């Protein structure tokens, strides 16, 4: 199985599509879904919390590719920070993390058949960014010791990896059925 679809690297085409009114509206809907989902989380312990906004980011990336995924990650993070009550100050590093995550989701999910392995790869991308970049941003913001932060976040994100991969698989399978029903033209490109 090929991890990235051949269409995922057609950045010029994706930029051109993102300039269309329909794509801008679609990206806006995904950003709105991202913001709405950022209000919801399940807090299991002081350190373990499951969030769902990444599902809207994955949907944007699957529909519009890495370019739309990156745009949705950038705008979604900024808008959700100002729309949702936050526990800390705004830090642009997290916006960069979500832009990169949207880009990686696009590389993995754009015009691709959703399989458990592909969902795990997308979950793994989220895991790596959460363990590395987001830990580094927290270290910069609060001055906490890197090793301590990394250890706690590694344990938390390892648990989240399994849950997020299953959520991605179930959500993206359902989402791809909806998209294929709405837009039969996409059906030919996904086979």
User: What is the band of 47 on the pLDDT scale with cuts at 50, 70, 90?
Assistant: low
Confidence band (pLDDT; 50, 70, 90) for 50?
Answer: confident
- pLDDT band (50, 70, 90) for residue 188: very low
Q: Which residues of 12-28 are buried (b: 16+ CB within 10 A; e: fewer)?
A: eebeebbeeeebeebbe
Average pLDDT of the segment spanning 52-70: 94
Q: Which residue has the tokens 């997308």?
A: 122
């Amino acid at each position: 199985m090929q991890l990235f679809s051949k269409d995922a690297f057609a950045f010029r085409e994706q930029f051109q599509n993102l300039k269309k009114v329909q794509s801008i509206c679609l990206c806006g809907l995904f950003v709105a879904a991202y913001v709405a989902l950022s209000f919801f989380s399940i807090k299991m312990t002081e350190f373990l919390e499951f969030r769902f906004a990444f599902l809207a980011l994955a949907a944007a990336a699957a529909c519009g590719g890495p370019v739309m995924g990156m745009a949705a990650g950038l705008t979604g993070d900024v808008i959700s920070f100002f729309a949702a009550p936050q526990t800390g100050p705004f830090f642009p590093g997290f916006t960069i993390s979500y832009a990169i995550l949207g880009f990686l989701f696009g590389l993995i999910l754009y015009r691709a058949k959703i399989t458990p392995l592909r969902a795990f790869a997308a979950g793994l991308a989220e895991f790596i960014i959460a363990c590395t970049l987001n830990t580094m941003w927290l270290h910069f913001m609060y001055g906490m010791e890197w090793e301590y932060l990394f250890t706690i976040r590694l344990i938390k994100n390892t648990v989240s990896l399994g849950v997020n991969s299953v959520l991605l698989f179930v959500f993206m399978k359902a989402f791809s059925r909806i998209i294929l029903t709405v837009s039969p033209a996409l059906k030919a490109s996904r086979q």
